[in-house]
Amino acid sequence: MSNPDYLLSMQGICKSFGAIQANNNVDLNLSEGDILGLLGENGAGKTTLMNILFGTYQADEGKIMIQGRQITIHSTADALGFGIGMVHQHFHLVHRHTVLENLLVGEPGRMGRLDFSGARRRLLEIGEQFGLTLNPDARVSELTIGEQQRLEIIKALFGDSKILILDEPTAVLTPNESTGLFEALRALAEGGLGIIFISHKLHEVRNVTNRVLVMRAGSVSALVEDTKEVTESDLARLMCGHELNPPKKNTSKLGDTFLSLSAIKTGGSTPQKLKGINLSVQGGEILGIAGVSGNGQKELADVIAGVLSHTEGTIEVKGEIISKASPRLMQKLKIGRIPEDRMTTGLVTSLPLYVSMVLPWIRRSIFSRFGILRKNEILSFTSKMIKRFTIQATGPEVKTGTLSGGNLQKVLLARELAFEPEVLLASQPTRGLDVAAAEFVHRQFLSLREKGAAIILISEDLEELFALSDRIVVMYEGRIAGETKINDASVEDIGLLMAGATFGA
Amino acid sequence: MAFRLELREKTPIWFNIVLPLSAVMATLLLCSGLVALAGANVFHAYSELFLSAVSSRFNLVETFVKAAPLIFTGLAVAVAFRAKFWNIGAEGQLLAGAMAAAYIGGIESLPSFSLVPLMIIASALAGAGWAMLPAILRTRFKVDDVVTTLLLNFVMFYVMTALLDGPWKDPLSGYPDSPDIRMDAEFPILLHATRLHLGVLLSLLAAPMVWWFIRRTTLGFSISVVGENPSASAYAGISITRILIYTALISGSLAGLAGAGEVGGLHFQVMSGISPGYGYTGIVIAMLARLNPIGVVLAALFFAVVVTGAEAMSRATGVPVYLADVIQGTALVTMLIAQLFTTYRIRTLTTQG
């Protein structure tokens, strides 16, 4: 029976969508001061469970109790009223407004007037109590990603929440920002909150939580009462049902220089983000690009993809100087790209899957002739790719946006690898993916490398860079701050370069 | 009990038929209150409204004649809206097309056989040209296309009335109308003793062509993709500027063709009342059809039936003809609501316990 001491108790939660049982008889208990890790692969039912708690979905069966009292949650407003706050993976902030104004969104106000002074006071209170400080008058667009997340947490705490849910909170953060977040969470727990930390990153769950609930295929597969007693590989086994199998890197033969940039600068009317980039990449190697986000990685990728034009310097592809780069020319030169933001710059979520699958290739003679689509070829190509990359989709006609994050990334991979690129440019290719999906992506990169292609891997995940790269360069403020062979590289050195140190200075 | 909207994975195909039908039913239900208020028997009024439009061969043909310009403007808007080129300017493009057709149709030196084809081509070019202006403003200078397309309607209207009041005034009648086109420039009549002219046939042929164009050509594919996700299109090597310009050209020429039909098939001249807002009604029709070209034909026919039938209904029951306008407006609102069900499903929430 339920223990009235629990801050939150969910019992026997069941939820199905059509034939899919998303949650099957799930129990979850949370006490004051708890940081409960909710661990599971994509599609294990974590998000569904939290959406039920937050009032986005309604459970088919089961009950929810807060401090021993049974409640029903019909809407997000109900959930907030019961003291449940949620920080979503994707932020819901109004960029043009200030911190204070964002906090007042949805607040009732006093007699129709926004209570600015009250909000300012509460913001200070939260700052003093938990060490979460922000300038109330800064515009959201001026905040870093880490600060934006802090604002989301403050927003969740604003209405006196007792329970805080964080959905994959580190997916968008750099290592340092993550450390800062963990400190804040510990302070919140000490202040008596109950925190649910959703993640599939094992070391983070190990690091920050004191209990772990592991879910697999909609059910609870394990409940760890003391996180310190388990290892990361224990957690991995509980989560996936099998041992982890990180891909092995074989030696590969270096080939010709496929792509080289020298003294590339951008600017003109826009702020200068690239201030003289020199780099080159050979066939058969993976060049890792490390750096804190916003140091020009996105612009570098855009220049190589032909989306952004450079104002100075030269780009050479296989020894030939490219005078006017364009996305179509770069495609012709067999430079593939996996963009950072798959939903907005990669795929067309509102249209059928086959549209996203052939988007860059639609003018190829297999997919169209004389401007007329060859629909059968497009559909059979899409079906073939679905099979080859084990994409979980009911067919080529299904709406792209209904696929999960990992499967969307597989669609992008399938699309870019289909016509054997010589250079693959991948930005944050495993961000937000679960372990199995990330391993799949890594394996594809390594096999492409063995086939002799060059890969440029832009990532903020140092573990990933160290596992895959042959060389690592670090970007800092629009320049290459340093370069090392993987065998000579240390995390400490890379970390220093990311923070702006220079060797020999 | 409470209700909630949940996202659908896939829209069932039969929705494309059931939704518009239920929207029409809801519209009639909502408007029946007004009919009753006007003191008429609801069933009597509605049967007059709908049956009169199909009761005789003449009325049936008239319905198609009235639908023709609406089909063209509806298609024009449907193509443009797919690319999220917000062409509110079908009205002005129609006027441009009508003037081009009337001008060509009045040139004495042209050989007889070339008149009708040239009028058709000229009207499409004129409409396309007038739609180019906002497209260039948007792609080069980022000027909002809703505003420019809308305002250019008034520019074209006043250019037209200025011409009709001045240099282009019919010297014979003295009215602010253009001179009649040559007899051999009049569109052939396809059915004896009716007004079923070539333009009506063209409108009915245009719809499947536009459907095929959107579904089966690379340009149509690019138009949909640019509309749904411009930045993914740009990364995939599709030039958004080019696609928007092409979209404007196609949309404008379809609207221009509406003008050719009105001049060559019905009025044989341009006068200031040549379009009672066909360009604007085209927007409603395109929305009602969910931007589907075949749906545009059905929606345009529905509107034409209502407009044709409203007079018969008014004569028989005394309900004012303005009911037709109310029905058209209500149909848009009910259809927009019905569209919700294509992307969402309704779930009933039962209390836990």
Q: Of all helices (H) and strands (E), which one includes residue A154?
A: helix A145-158
Q: Which residue has the higher pLDDT, A466 or B207?
A: B207
> A125-134, A258-267, B319-328: which range is least confident on average?
A125-134
Scanning chain B, the segments in alpha helix (DSSP H) are: 15-37, 42-55, 57-82, 90-105, 115-141, 145-165, 198-216, 218-228, 230-235, 240-261, 278-288, 293-317, 323-343
pLDDT at residue A505 is higher than 60: no
pLDDT at residue A224 is higher than 70: yes
Say yes or no: A64 contacts chain B, CB-CB below 8 A.
yes
What's A118's domain CATH number?
A: 3.40.50.300
Say yes or no: B114 contacts chain A, CB-CB below 8 A.
no
Q: What percent of chain A has pLDDT over 90?
A: 37
Straight-line distance from the first to the last Cα atom of chain A, in angstroms, rounded to the nearest whole number: 65
pLDDT at residue A201 is higher than 90: no
Q: Which residues of B touch A64 (CB under 8 A)?
A: 352
Say yes or no: A269 contacts chain B, CB-CB below 8 A.
no
Q: If we measure between CA atoms, which residue out of A448, A445, A443 comes closest to residue A457?
A: A445
Mutate to test the interface with B, among A64, A304, A372 (most CBs of B within 10 A): A372
Of A219, A240, A261, the domain-final residue: A240
B218:A351 CB<8 A = no
Q: Which residues between 228 and 267 in chain B have a beta carbon less than 8 angstroms from any beta carbon of chain A?
A: 228-229, 231-238
- In tens, the pLDDT along A50-67 reads 989 988 888 899 999 998
pLDDT at residue B137 is higher than 70: yes
pLDDT at residue A412 is higher than 70: yes
pLDDT at residue B330 is higher than 60: yes
Of B10, B218, B231, Cβ closest to residue A362? B218
CA distance A279 to chain B (A): 22
A72 to chain B: nearest residue by CA? Answer: B352
Q: What percent of chain B has pLDDT over 70?
A: 95
Q: What is the pLDDT of residue B4?
A: 66
Q: Which residues of A touch B1 (CB under 8 A)?
A: none
Q: What is the pLDDT of residue B346?
A: 72
Of A216, A240, A264, the domain-final residue: A240
The answer to whether B128 and B249 are in contact (CB under 8 A) is yes
The answer to whether A421 and A334 are in contact (CB under 8 A) is yes
Q: If we measure between CA atoms, which residue out of B148, B151, B163 comes closest to residue B99?
A: B163
Say yes or no: A346 contacts chain B, CB-CB below 8 A.
yes
Of A72, A307, A346, Cβ closest to residue B352? A72
Same domain flag for A88 and A37: yes
Which amino acid, residue A81?
Answer: G
| DSSP symbol at A267 | -
Of A72, A74, A373, Cβ closest to residue B221? A373
Mutate to test the interface with B, among A58, A71, A74, A324 (most CBs of B within 10 A): A58
Same domain flag for A225 and A256: no
Whether residue A340 lies inside any domain: the answer is no
Whether residue A2 lies inside any domain: the answer is no
pLDDT at residue A1 is higher than 50: no
Q: What is the pLDDT of residue A503?
A: 52
Say yes or no: A203 contacts chain B, CB-CB below 8 A.
no
The token duo for A43 is: 């599609």
* pTM score of the predicted model: 0.78
The token duo for A39 is: 């661990």
- In tens, the pLDDT along A83-127 reads 999 888 778 888 889 998 888 887 766 666 778 888 888 888 888
Q: How confident is the model at residue A270 (pLDDT cuts 50, 70, 90)?
A: low
The token duo for A477 is: 């403020």
Highest mean pLDDT among A310-314, A401-405, A454-458, B328-332: A454-458
- In tens, the pLDDT along A318-347 reads 989 998 889 999 999 999 999 888 888 899
| DSSP symbol at B180 | P
Q: What is the pLDDT of residue B201?
A: 97
Say yes or no: A372 contacts chain B, CB-CB below 8 A.
yes
Q: State how far the Cα of B14 lies from the Cα of B344, in Å rounded to an integer.
A: 15
Whether residue A343 lies inside any domain: the answer is no
Query: Counting beta carbons within 10 angstroms of the beta carbon of residue B37, is it exposed (0 to 12), middle (13 to 18) or buried (19 or more)?
Result: exposed
B2 to chain A: nearest residue by CA? Answer: A74
Q: State how far the Cα of B254 lies from the Cα of A69, in Å rounded to an integer.
A: 65
Please state the ipTM of this predicted complex. 0.83
Say yes or no: B353 contacts chain A, CB-CB below 8 A.
yes
Helices (H) and strands (E) in chain A, counts: 16, 22
Same domain flag for A285 and A425: yes
Q: Which residues of B touch A350 (CB under 8 A)?
A: 228-229
Q: Of all helices (H) and strands (E), which one includes residue A416?
A: helix A405-417
Q: What is the pLDDT of residue A498?
A: 79
- In tens, the pLDDT along A492-504 reads 788 778 777 665 4
Same domain flag for A296 and A308: yes
Q: How confident is the model at residue B341 (pLDDT cuts 50, 70, 90)?
A: confident
> A372-386, A432-446, B180-194, B270-284: which range is least confident on average?
A432-446
Q: Which residues of B touch A360 (CB under 8 A)?
A: 235-237
Same domain flag for A50 and A101: yes
Same domain flag for A57 and A162: yes
Q: How confident is the model at residue A5 (pLDDT cuts 50, 70, 90)?
A: confident
- In tens, the pLDDT along B34-78 reads 999 988 899 999 998 888 888 888 889 999 999 999 999 999 999
pLDDT at residue A445 is higher than 90: yes
Number of domains, chain A: 3
CA dist A82 to A48, A69, A72, A148, B99, Å? Answer: 19, 11, 10, 25, 67
Same domain flag for A178 and A90: yes
Say yes or no: B13 contacts chain A, CB-CB below 8 A.
no
Q: What is the pLDDT of residue B186?
A: 94
Same domain flag for A260 and A373: no
The token duo for A341 is: 């933001």
The token duo for A6 is: 């629990």
Same domain flag for A430 and A488: yes
CA distance A334 to chain B (A): 13
Q: What is the pLDDT of residue A351?
A: 92
Same domain flag for A164 and A38: yes
A351:B225 CB<8 A = yes
Mean pLDDT of B258-266: 96
The answer to whether A164 and A87 are in contact (CB under 8 A) is yes
CA distance A396 to chain B (A): 12
Q: Where are the domains of chain B?
A: 2-349
Of B2, B233, B235, Cβ closest to residue A74? B2
B351:A72 CB<8 A = yes
pLDDT at residue A417 is higher than 50: yes
Q: State how far the Cα of B286 lies from the Cα of B20, in Å rounded to an integer.
A: 12
Across chain B, what does the average pLDDT equal? Answer: 91
Q: Which residue has the higher pLDDT, B3 or A151?
A: A151
Q: Which residues of B touch A349 (CB under 8 A)?
A: 228-229
Q: State how far the Cα of A316 lies from the Cα of B45, in Å rounded to an integer.
A: 75
Q: Which range marks the domain in which residue A56 is found?
A: 8-240
Q: How confident is the model at residue A315 (pLDDT cuts 50, 70, 90)?
A: very high
Of A240, A255, A287, the domain-final residue: A240
Say yes or no: A355 contacts chain B, CB-CB below 8 A.
yes
Which amino acid, residue A62?
Answer: G
Same domain flag for A181 and A67: yes
User: DSSP states of B247-269 as a string?
Assistant: HHHHHHHHHHHHHHHIIIIIISS
> A96-100, B91-95, B161-165, B240-244: which range is least confident on average?
A96-100
Of B215, B217, B235, Cβ closest to residue A345? B235
Across chain A, what does the average pLDDT equal? Answer: 86
Whether residue A147 lies inside any domain: the answer is yes
Q: Which residues of B touch A74 (CB under 8 A)?
A: 2, 349
Q: Which residues between 398 and 437 in chain A have a beta carbon less than 8 angstroms from any beta carbon of chain B?
A: 398-399, 402
Say yes or no: B2 contacts chain A, CB-CB below 8 A.
yes
| Pairs of residues, one from chain A and one from chain B, whose beta carbons lie less than 8 Å apart | 87
> Could you say which of 1.20.1410, 1.10.20, 1.10.3470, 3.40.50 is the CATH number of the domain covering B2-349?
1.10.3470
Q: What percent of chain B has pLDDT over 90?
A: 66
Q: How confident is the model at residue B217 (pLDDT cuts 50, 70, 90)?
A: very high
A58:B352 CB<8 A = yes
Mean pLDDT of A201-212: 88
Q: How confident is the model at residue A404 (pLDDT cuts 50, 70, 90)?
A: confident
Same domain flag for A453 and A493: yes
